[in-house]
Amino acid sequence: MKSMRLVIALVLAGLVPAQAQITETVAKHHMIAAANPHAAAAGLEMLRAGGSAVDAAVATQLVLGLVEPESSGIGGGAFMLVYDRISRKTTSFDGREMAPASATPRMFLGPDGQPRTKSDAIPGGLSVGIPGVIGMLDLAHKKYGKLPWARLFQPAIKLADNGFAVGPKLARTIAGFRRGANMPDIKSHFYHADGTPLAEGEIYKNPEYAQSLRKIAAEGPDGFYKGAIAQAIVNAVQHAPGQTGGMTLGDLANYRAQERAPVCGDYRRYQVCSMGPPSSGGIAVLQILGALQRFPSSQLQPGTLSNAHLFAQASKLAYADRAKYLADPGFVPVPIKGLIDKNYIASRAALIDPAKDMGRAEAGNPPSEKHTQLSPQKSPVRHGTSHMTIVDDAGSVVAMTTSVESVFGANIMAGGFMLNNTLTDFSFQPVLDGLPVANAPAPGKLPLSAMSPTIVFNTDRSFLLSVGSPGGPAIIDYVAQTLSGILDGKMSPKDAIAMPRELNMNGPTQMENAPGVDKLAAGLTAMGHTVRVSDQEGSGLHGIMKVKGGYIGAADPRRDGIALGD
């Protein structure tokens, strides 16, 4: 206990860089792994006060919106997976941002009818969806919270008022975000008067955010979706620099988060549960793992050529289906059962040649009562997301992935928080090759996501492992690769989370620059892969695993995260 408190104190005082911390922690009673030490400490405070995993998630998110505003916040959206140890049931909460009533299928097409670039469509009000985080946190708290709602806001309010030392990731992001200097809200918050960006270690305060949190703490979600904060959001969207949006007070007042059934499937002797549509993450992760089940674990050992090849092939097949079938199930008949049907996945896995790359994969034809002729969408990649995993004293678990979509969202703020650009997760082209695209924009529709908060259970349905990550569409591969590393490779969470990333989103095989990568790349090239090697900073994995006598937690060394527990 004393050593853990010393680690927390040194990190929060800035005396130990986040990346220099131990990235694996052992705890007996409760644990949190999150993307920033301040946020993890807020969650741990709630757990120590007897709070639930959901209580800790609320406190953690509110601090993340302050200390990691480039990645998540109350102006964005989130998905939360909850395992209730008492009832032994798993459920999920959907806080995805929603398109306002003003959205149209052609909203991201230029005057020539061609899709705009994503970087051109992001800044301003057009890309902002109705934020869902507060609605989702309230819904989950009403069902699983133990501490008073207002209590959960205290750490974030205190930190926003008193200030905190800017961390390495936020400092790097501000310095490298060239557009920020031209966006008034970002400039006023994260730049000095002389135009230089805030540097690591400088103190940042946000009293406007503290004021917003006080209002929501006192009034609940109505304090966000109605009244002064709602008006500030509408004003920011309708009068944004560059391009404006049509969000109204009615859009905000009508937003409702949803509780949904998770998607679950077997992987070897384990059960894996994750987020269903409008996220594609859970289905794609289950498809990748399902395809890998055709092969023995001996061929899926991390760092081997067979593993890199087989994982890339399974991933290609899953991303091909994702592009064609996945969207908001309230608008499109998504064949969920068909896509994770064991026989269907087995037929897809049969397409994998253990010795040769398959080239670009085509979507399959899953069994479904309703089958719609659709065209696969084309998805640009952006990263602006965070993840947390939490286990409380009762053994209940939260896996929550949260986002403002791109870096600093839409680059505009209201009430001291960033607004998302999640509407650019829609397909910019509503029709391709004469067929509709499932993920086309529409009023009231939820854009497709890749967020994949995941919980793994043993054969007796007891909790074993929880993992999740930021990373845009690459989230799916980050999570699936980590799960395979732990379940097939018998890696520790720390080693699995830190291992070099290998991705294939139905295109080139992307490999993180690391020792031994040249040999692997050469072997894959000989098998027909197009290989791209680069430095990858998109992942930000966090995981907790049940072990004898307690839990092991780990955080991705590529970011500022930490695992804390007692």
Question: Which residues participate in catalysis according to the annotation?
Answer: 385
**CA distance linking residue 105 with residue 113, whole number of Å:** 12
Closest-CA residue to 512 (of 543, 474, 554): 474
Residue pair 12/551 in contact (Cβ under 8 Å)? The answer is: no
**CA distance linking residue 480 with residue 280, whole number of Å:** 13
Sign of the torsion formed by the C-alpha atoms of 59, 63, 65 and 71: negative
**CA distance linking residue 62 with residue 511, whole number of Å:** 34
Q: Which two tokens stand for residue 328?
A: 């908001």
Closest-CA residue to 123 (of 73, 70, 179): 179
Residue pair 313/358 in contact (Cβ under 8 Å)? The answer is: yes
Q: What H or E segment, with its residue span, contains residue 525?
A: helix 517-526
Residue pair 405/412 in contact (Cβ under 8 Å)? The answer is: no
Residue ranges of alpha helices (H) inside 27-153 are 37-48, 53-67, 118-121, 133-144
Peptide bond into 333 cis (omega under 30): no
Report the residue count for the chain: 566
HSE at residue 301, side-chain half, CA atoms within 13 A, is 3
Q: Which two tokens stand for residue 474?
A: 């690459």
Contacting residues for 325 by C-beta, under 8 A, at least 6 apart: 334, 335, 339, 363, 366, 374, 438
Residue pair 491/497 in contact (Cβ under 8 Å)? The answer is: no
Q: How far apart are the first and last CA of the chain?
A: 6
Residue pair 564/40 in contact (Cβ under 8 Å)? The answer is: yes
Residue ranges of alpha helices (H) inside 116-219 are 118-121, 133-144, 154-162, 168-176, 184-190, 207-219
Neighbours of 523 (CB within 10 A): 16
**CA distance linking residue 356 with residue 198, whole number of Å:** 49
Residue 78 is which amino acid?
A
Q: Which two tokens stand for residue 210?
A: 């503290």
